[in-house]
Amino acid sequence: MSGLRELLMVRPGGTRLADIDPRSTPGLPGKRVVGGDPKRWSQTQVAEMSEELNTYQERLFASAKEGGTNRRVLLVLQAMDCGGKDGTVRNVTQGMSPAGMKAVSFGPPDEQERRHDFLWRIRRGLPPAGHVGVFNRSHYEDVLIVRVHNLTSEDVWAQRYEQINAFEAEETADGLTMVKVMLHISKEEQKKRLLARLDDPSKHWKYNPGDLAERARWEDYQRAYEDALNRCSTTAAPWYVVPADRKWYRNWAVATLLRDAFADINPQYPEPDFDAAAERAKLLAAE
């Protein structure tokens, strides 16, 4: 276990985003360990962890075979635009098999989704037993953009913090391990990344003119995030704030949080329901 969780975990009521420097690198070992090049060191660590994550994923998958357990892992990523959600997903899942994953992006709800409770589509998006899920945005949008833009009345969204906690408690009691991560970038870093998008035609498809209007509400979003983080960081499903201006730190931190979550679960291959020696003999005896 790395101890990183302790450093990044949101203590209910006590977290102010303004106090967390998006360029900081909490938990990164000292200069001697990283050999003067923390970026390179982190990338090597991520490559190594990717092997570990691969093995953990296979064991989780195997342990759930034929109804063995309902264990599932879910990485939830929230961030302002350009916060690095896509890049993080790509990076931390590089060692995993798509056969054991379920990645879902939550955009504005469609017509069918709007006819249901806000958690309806979330439940449908949860990973099945033995799988690793990734949420790119999540039910937290329903207390973020919805709140900032008054998409529902306050008495509706204000109840959702408790509803989210109840939902997450129910699912974690049913075998779900949630790793909830807010990628915390600075307003300056967002500007840099938006400019980079505008300057690269192969990135135009990721740009939306509405992004500028959202950016203008930066402070409102930060307050909405703080409330979500502080009210919904529970023992069962804590929130982590990962400083994300430096991509290499962000990747290292999220991979580490995921690896530590798996280490807690420590999924095991199931006991075989056959006699390997006897099967071996049968196989050799046959053609």
Q: Residues interacting with its own copies, by CB under 8 A?
A: 62, 65, 86, 89-90, 93-94, 96-99, 101, 103, 105, 134, 136, 187, 191, 194-195, 198-199, 201-202, 204-207, 209, 212, 215-216, 269-270, 272, 274, 276, 279-280, 282-284, 286-287
From the CB of 4, what's the least distance to its own copies, in Å?
Answer: 23
> Using an 8 Å Cβ cutoff, are 234 and 165 in contact?
yes
From the CB of 101, what's the least distance to its own copies, in Å?
Answer: 5
> Using an 8 Å Cβ cutoff, are 250 and 244 in contact?
yes
Closer CB to its own copies, 30 or 205, in the complex: 205
- SS3 labels along 152-200: CCHHHHCCHHHHHHHHHHHHHHCCEEEEEEEEECCHHHHHHHHHHHHHC
Closer CB to its own copies, 92 or 146, in the complex: 92
From the CB of 235, what's the least distance to its own copies, in Å?
Answer: 29
From the CB of 133, what's the least distance to its own copies, in Å?
Answer: 10
Q: What share of the chain is helix, strand, coil (3-state, %, to 5)?
A: 55, 10, 35
**DSSP letters for 107-169:** -S--HHHHTS-TTHHHHHHSPPTT-EEEEES-GGGGGTHHHHTTSS-HHHHTTHHHHHHHHHH
Residue with tokens 């006991």: 271
Closer CB to its own copies, 18 or 205, in the complex: 205
7: number of Cβ within 10 Å: 12
Closer CB to its own copies, 103 or 261, in the complex: 103
From the CB of 254, what's the least distance to its own copies, in Å?
Answer: 14
> Using an 8 Å Cβ cutoff, are 146 and 152 in contact?
yes
Closer CB to its own copies, 11 or 204, in the complex: 204
From the CB of 26, what's the least distance to its own copies, in Å?
Answer: 27
Please give the order of strands across the beta sheet that includes 239-243.
Answer: 101-105, 132-136, 72-79, 176-184, 239-243
Q: For the CA atoms of 10, 16, 22, 28, what is the dihedral angle to 10 degrees?
A: -40
Closer CB to its own copies, 20 or 62, in the complex: 62
From the CB of 192, what's the least distance to its own copies, in Å?
Answer: 10
Closer CB to its own copies, 16 or 191, in the complex: 191
> Using an 8 Å Cβ cutoff, are 196 and 130 in contact?
no
